[in-house]
Structure 1
Amino acid sequence: MTSEIIFDFNKISTTDNWKVVDDAVMGGKSSGSFFLDPNGKGVFVGYVSLENNGGFSTVKYSFDRVSTKGFSKISFKVKGDGKMYQFRIKRKSDDKYAYIKYFTSSEGWETFQLTLSEMYPTYKGRQLDMPNYDQDGIEEVAFLIGNKKAEDFKLEIESIVLS
């Protein structure tokens, strides 16, 4: 087993299982959106606001469980805006916490490869006193921006793959 595609965007991709969650769930004013561009890439774009104690926007993709047995890394190809983002995975989509790793995007296409065992658990921005990712499957991946400043953002996504 060399790789397992979690999502590979193309011109006929559906974004039905992709969902934006902003700080509006707690009274904030950030606004993100997600759509498929004419080239078939997923585009996560919007504005992070610090009003009303806000400060984040997330796009998440939930799917039927994918086994991580035999895989040690997860990679994603993105084109960003030079800003820092979190990549997040959840063992079960209804888990309250996620395993995360930060990355800083550039304005060109690049592939980030993260080691699953280096992703650490957080809940509401706080690291939990639990082991790093050591599970056997995932049901959700997400990208989050929340850099403690008001800012526009744009992250284009081409693919997410286990290897």
Structure 2
Amino acid sequence: MNDSNKTIFDFNTSSDIYQWKVVDDVVMGGKSNGSFKINKDGNGEFSGLVSLENNGGFSSLRYDFKSKETEGYKFIVLKVKGDGKKYQFRLKDDKLNKHSYISTFETNGKWQTIKITLSEMYPAFRGVKLNIGDFSSNKIDQIAFLIGNKKAQKFKLEIDEIFFQ
């Protein structure tokens, strides 16, 4: 469907998910527990439990890759099936930066095509919005999904495909 530059990741039953990493609040003492796998339908499945214990409250899934050019594209499109909860989609134009550019989306329990305008993604670090301008780079080299809704909750997000448009 998509050429290799347009596609960021297209999941299937034989997808190599070695470079997808779960990062939970345990990095700061929390007790949340996320996991990631390819499910029987060939989709990426990010699921687990967000805990507020020990000042925790988030689970994230990150994917680092060789830089992809954003030139000529206005959107990132997510084909996802969530559990009715709110998630963040995040990206970095340099994985060494501490801040990410963020867009929040709601899921509804059904398959959805979420279209995120790149230029409207705002910069933030540790939950604080930064005053450095919205996303305007010509490349990205990390994407992430994060759940952290200030409540203890189970979660499950299935991911079929992520691509530029």
Distance 1:109 1:52 in 2: 34
Match of 1:110 in 2: 112
Please list every run of at least 4 consecutive aligned residues from structure 1 whose deviation after the TM superposition is greater than 6 angstroms: none
Distance 2:69 2:9 in 1: 14
In structure 2, runs of 5+ residues without a counterpart are: none
Distance 2:133 2:17 in 1: 32
Aligned-partner residue type, residue 33 of structure 1 = S
Distance 2:125 2:35 in 1: 23
**1:110: Cα distance to partner?**
0.6
Distance 1:136 1:65 in 2: 10
Match of 1:29 among 16, 28, 31: 31
Match of 1:41 in 2: 43
Aligned-partner residue type, residue 84 of structure 2 = G
Distance 2:96 2:38 in 1: 26
The count of residues paired between Structure 1 and Structure 2 equals 163
**1:106: Cα distance to partner?**
1.3
**1:31: Cα distance to partner?**
0.3
Aligned-partner residue type, residue 92 of structure 2 = K
Distance 2:35 2:9 in 1: 18
Distance 1:93 1:16 in 2: 17
Give secondary structure in 1 for the equivalent of 2:27.
helix
Distance 2:47 2:16 in 1: 17
In percent, how many aligned pairs have the same letter? 51
**1:94: Cα distance to partner?**
1.9
In structure 1, runs of 5+ residues without a counterpart are: none
Match of 1:50 among 43, 49, 52: 52
Distance 2:6 2:67 in 1: 12
Distance 2:23 2:154 in 1: 16
Distance 1:22 1:56 in 2: 6
Q: For 1:135-146, what aligned pairs fall within 5 Å after superposition?
A: 135-146=137-148
Give secondary structure in 2 for the equivalent of 1:71.
coil
**1:124: Cα distance to partner?**
0.2
Under a length normalisation based on structure 1, what TM-score does the superposition of the two structures give?
0.98
The root-mean-square deviation of aligned C-alpha atoms, in Å, is 1.3
